[in-house]
Amino acid sequence: MFLNCGQLLPPLLRHADVPARITESFILSGYRFPNYSLAQCLLSAFRPTNETGNFWTHFLPVFIFAFYFLEPFCLEGAPPTGDPFFYPLWNYFMGVLCLLMASSMAHLLNSMSLVIREVCFFVDYGTISAYTVGSSLAYYYYIHPRAGILELRIGRHNNTHQDPSSSSSSLSSAMPEFSVFFETLYIPSSCLVAIICVLACCNTRQRWRTYRYIIRTLVFLLPFLVASTPIFYRLLHSSPYLPTSSSFSSSSSMTQFFCRHCFWLVVSALFNISKIPERLSPGRFDIWGHSHQWFHVCTFLSILDELHMINGEVRAILLHPVLVVPPATPPHLPGPTLASTYGVMLVLQASIASIIAWFSWCANSIYKPQGVQLEKEFLTKRHLKCH
């Protein structure tokens, strides 16, 4: 298949034969000139280019993620898949799915033109930001310090029922310093930070290009810190669950998966900034094994551990004997609704789409004339070489 694709597609080029705009540091060969048709781009997924590995390392994980995502729906006694309890989980799924698909398609289709290349990566940055808000929704409803806790049915020291008002007051005293942030500012803050990230990352394609990899990596550190505040709180304070063996198991699993999630994010950032291994041997890792492929692998491993962490908390809420699945009774922490989950994501996506449209319009005015001229020069050079 790889041999047949090589015969049907234009020859691959070295970094000196393509516009400087599309070259990557320390990658010397395997480039596609930005004049491919859609069919040629799709076919190039089966041809060894310097983008082939970038495509497959985020396309294949879609199926792995989907497989593990279905786990909570198979739990005994779980609500139907369309139940409001699962709204945040579905939003998280859509965020991850869009991230993986946009990333893989951006690397596959970016050789259609200089303008389309810019648009592809603008969409890529937008889906990363949307994913962080999808994570925030899942954290809010499943890992929030009061997630799933509507009323305590069993006392800490005896098996008698507590008065609802005393139960509510004990919950309020558990996190007084963060209650306002968690319940009113957490999701809006995540959305605001996501929009800032899209603006900053899109700007790195038109300015700040010398430090673009550092800026993009550091910019996405901010939404991680904001989104992870419920987890930091849970790790630094006592568990909201009653001290049973299942609660301790849930807390331990969350700590383990979150630490692994952070580890893979740090490793992916190091690959993205350092450009190792190709920096150590330019030209040797042009097709397979360069840093962006390892970056993709590590980011997916971080997402997979995050999914396991969220699934573990969903399992604890569904199966823990003293927890009530929202919104069975009027809780202090409101249960998920269409407006608070899908509505939030819809407004965010509309905002991101408008930002992408603006930057795409700017890119079209800048790069469309350049692309026409560069293609003429490329065809002239190739004609001269043939003669």
296 is in an annotated binding site: yes
Residue 364 pLDDT exceeds 70: yes
Q: What pLDDT was estimated at residue 303? A: 97
Q: What is the Cα Rg of the chain in Å?
A: 24
Q: What pLDDT was estimated at residue 253? A: 83
DSSP-based three-state secondary structure for 13: strand
Q: Which of 152, 6, 141 is CA-nearest to residue 72?
A: 141
DSSP-based three-state secondary structure for 66: helix
Mean pLDDT highest for which of 121-135, 239-253, 360-374?
A: 121-135
pLDDT digits (tens, 9 = 90+) for 321-361: 454 444 444 445 567 899 999 999 999 999 999 999 999 99
**Percentage of residues in the chain having pLDDT higher than 70:** 76
Q: pLDDT class for 42, splitting at 50, 70, 90?
A: very high
Q: What pLDDT was estimated at residue 369? A: 75
**Cα four-point dihedral sign 314, 315, 316, 317:** positive
Note the residue count of the chain: 387
107 is in an annotated binding site: yes
Average pLDDT, the chain: 82
Q: What pLDDT was estimated at residue 81? A: 92
Which one has a higher pLDDT value, 4 or 172?
Answer: 4
Cα distances (Å, whole numbers) of residue 133 to 26, 93, 172, 341: 34, 11, 26, 10
Residue 27 pLDDT exceeds 70: yes
Choice among 33-47, 76-90, 177-191 with the minimum mean pLDDT: 177-191
Q: pLDDT class for 307, splitting at 50, 70, 90?
A: very high
Rounded Cα distance, 191 and 32, in Å: 36
What pairs with residue 13 in β-bridges?
31
Residue 172 pLDDT exceeds 70: no
Q: What pLDDT was estimated at residue 31? A: 96
**Cα four-point dihedral sign 78, 322, 243, 313:** positive
Q: pTM of the full predicted structure?
A: 0.85
Please state the rounded mean pLDDT for residues 117-122: 95
292 is in an annotated binding site: yes
Rounded Cα distance, 2 and 43, in Å: 10
Q: What pLDDT was estimated at residue 374? A: 65
Q: What pLDDT was estimated at residue 58? A: 97
Which one has a higher pLDDT value, 331 or 318?
Answer: 318
Residue 91 pLDDT exceeds 80: yes
Q: What pLDDT was estimated at residue 169? A: 43
Q: What pLDDT was estimated at residue 147? A: 61
pLDDT digits (tens, 9 = 90+) for 235-285: 876 554 444 444 455 567 888 999 999 999 999 999 999 999 999 999 999
DSSP-based three-state secondary structure for 39: helix
Rounded Cα distance, 95 and 304, in Å: 13
Q: What pLDDT was estimated at residue 261? A: 96
pLDDT digits (tens, 9 = 90+) for 207-232: 877 778 888 888 888 889 999 988 98
pLDDT digits (tens, 9 = 90+) for 137-158: 999 998 876 665 443 333 333 3
Q: Which residue's entry shows tokens 């698909």?
A: 101
Q: Please give the structure tokens belonging to residue 246.
A: 């299942």
Cα distances (Å, whole numbers) of residue 11 to 29, 32, 117, 158: 11, 8, 19, 76
DSSP-based three-state secondary structure for 31: strand
Q: What pLDDT was estimated at residue 376? A: 60
The torsion defined by the Cα of 46, 18, 214 and 297, in degrees rounded to 10, comes to 10
